[in-house]
Amino acid sequence: MIAVRAHELDLVACTACGLLCRDVHDGARHVCPRCGAALHVRKPDSLRRTWAFLLASLILYVPANVLPVMHTGALFAGTEAHTILGGIIELWHDGSWDLAVIVFVASVVVPILKMLALAVLALGVHRGWTTRLRERAKLYRMVETVGHWSMLDVYVIALLVALVHFRGIAEVTPGPGIAAFGAVVVLTMFASASFDPRLLFDAGSRHG
Amino acid sequence: MESAKHHSLMVCDHCDAVYRKPRFRRGRLARCTRCGAVLERMQRLDVGGMLALTFAGLIVFAIANAYPLVRIDVRGAEDANTLWGTIVTSWHAGAFGVAVLTLFTLFVFPLAELLAALYVLWPLALGRRTPGFGTGMRVLRLAREWSMPEVFMLGVIVAVVKLGSLAKIAPGAGLWAFAALTVLLTLVTSFDHGCLWDLATERRS
């Protein structure tokens, strides 16, 4: 079934409340008469914003993984620096392989796949790909759904720092890596919010 | 631009396909045939039910913040931590990014989501529509994207396991309340905004 699309009928749906409005094509900025949100046929500067947030998160991804996310100090043991990957390996060696897998997925797999997926989606719009529209729309929805799970490591560090501060006996202090990692999570969330999935289907309808 | 007066039509947010609004029973889900995204979730609850969940959420939110999440015992040295304690300690330890992210995703946005839901639902339940309905709905929309209590629950499990060899840890009342808050917030987040708007439109006319 080929569905009729709103822009072909000169209609704009408000993304905030769903009200259908008539597109008057006068180039001026309009707001939804029902809820007052700005009306856009497509998200403004969608691709440029997506690429900008993606690039920023890619750059910060390096310090997020290279710099330590925390330092631990224990009685008679001195201080130790821990990176994100190092923390996962420790969990694995401590026998919690199940949690190690969960943290690996949330902290390593999800951010990388999310950046890759958004790059593929944006590239597809640039190139005007018309195949596998449904699959690519589904990919976008997955990116939206799983994105915030990467915040896991930020919470773990916050909890460890807050719980273990017995000076002299045991102490956990935060490292610079975790700030970079938190920024990566937020920036990739901004990137996926900037991307407009309707652009995928615009290429599809132009070519028949 | 003006309202197109096509109240019987709706558009898929993800691919722009136009549909006649489905008339389903409660609890049913309408999916776009073109891209597979959810078009509309027929609300299982009426406004009264949603309001009750929101109230429950606010009560549980207060408990989750007032009581300690976990108690820790390291070689005789004891301590207990609330959510606020966690945020303040990480700030003082120099983890400003962590403290700010935790503050917003676990305190500010969940609270904003519950308050905004209360603000739009209470008058609706009384058959009226608040003048700030639009603002309330906008806050609700923004806050639900950025509140992440479910991720925090997993974070607590990971942190407890990591500390397992070092210390004795016991869950506090705050943690159980936080678990309940996670469930309630998930339900509040699932309220269909299109349905609420349509309901508010009926109420005014």
ipTM: 0.89
How far from the centroid of its chain's Cα atoms is residue B66's Cα?
19
Cβ-based contacts of A21 with chain B (< 8 Å): 1-4
Residues B50 and B38 in one domain: no
Both B49 and B140 in one domain: the answer is yes
Mutate to test the interface with A, among B6, B9, B16 (most CBs of A within 10 A): B16
Question: Which one of A144, A163, A195 makes the best mutation probe of the B interface by having the most chain B beta carbons within 10 Å?
Answer: A163
Q: What is the pLDDT of residue A88?
A: 92
pLDDT digits (tens, 9 = 90+) for B34-68: 888 888 777 777 888 999 999 999 999 999 999 99
Higher-confidence position of B5 and B55: B55
Number of domains forming the structure of chain B: 2
The larger pLDDT score, comparing residue A53 to residue B161, is at: A53
pLDDT confidence of B4, banded at 50, 70, 90?
low
Q: Are residues B98 and B3 in the same domain?
A: no
Co-location of B84 and B125 in the same domain:
yes
- Chain B positions touching A25 (Cβ under 8 A) are none
The pLDDT of residue A207 is 45
Find tokens 């309330």 and name the residue.
B136
- The model's pTM is 0.89
Class (C level, CATH) for A45-206: mainly alpha
What pLDDT was estimated at residue A208? 39
Instruction: Judge if B21 and B87 occupy the same domain.
Output: no
What CATH number should be reported for the domain holding residue B187? 1.20.140
Q: Give the model's pLDDT for residue A204.
A: 61
Q: Chain A to chain B, count of Cβ pairs less than 8 Å apart?
A: 240
pLDDT digits (tens, 9 = 90+) for A130-177: 888 889 999 999 999 898 899 999 999 999 998 887 766 778 889 999
**Between B163 and B57, where is the model more confident?**
B57
Examine the domain organization and report whether B158 and B63 are in the same domain: yes
User: Do A154 and B102 contact (CB within 8 A), yes or no?
Assistant: yes
* Residues from chain A contacting residue B138 (CB–CB below 8 Å): 16, 35, 37
- The pLDDT tens digits for B178-193 are 999 999 999 988 887 8
Same domain for B31 and B107, yes or no, is no
* Contacts with A156 from chain B: Cβ below 8 Å: 155, 158-159, 162
pLDDT in the model for residue B81: 86
For residue A17, what pLDDT is reported? 80
Q: Same domain, yes or no, for B103 and B191?
A: yes
Tell me, yes or no, whether B77 and B176 share the same domain. Answer: yes
Can you give the residue range of the structural domain that contains B186? Answer: 45-204
- Taking the C-alpha atoms of residue B185 and residue B162, their distance in angstroms, rounded to an integer, is 27
Q: How much of chain B, in percent, has pLDDT values that exceed 90?
A: 42
Query: What is the per-residue DSSP string for chain B?
Result: -EE---TTEEE-TTT-BEEEPP---TT-EEE-TTT--EEEE--SS-HHHHHHHHHHHHHHHHHHHHS-SEEEEETTEEEEE-HHHHHHHHHHTT-HHHHHHHHIIIIIHHHHHHHHHHHHHHHHHTT---TTHHHHHHHHHHHHHH--HHHHHHHHHHHHHHHTTT-EEEE-HHHHHHHHHHHHHHHHHTS-HHHHHHHHHHHH-
For B201, the closest chain A residue by CA position comes to A34
Residues B21 and B93 in one domain: no
State whether B160 and B179 are in the same domain.
yes
Instruction: Tell me, yes or no, whether B74 and B24 share the same domain.
Output: no
Whether the CB of B90 is below 8 Å from some CB of chain A: the reply is: yes
Write down the pLDDT at residue A130: 85
- Percentage with pLDDT > 70 across chain B: 93
The 10 Å Cβ neighbour count of residue B168 is 12
Going from N- to C-terminal start, the domains of chain A cover: 1-41, 45-206
Give pLDDT < 70 ranges for chain A.
Answer: 1-2, 75-77, 167-168, 204-208
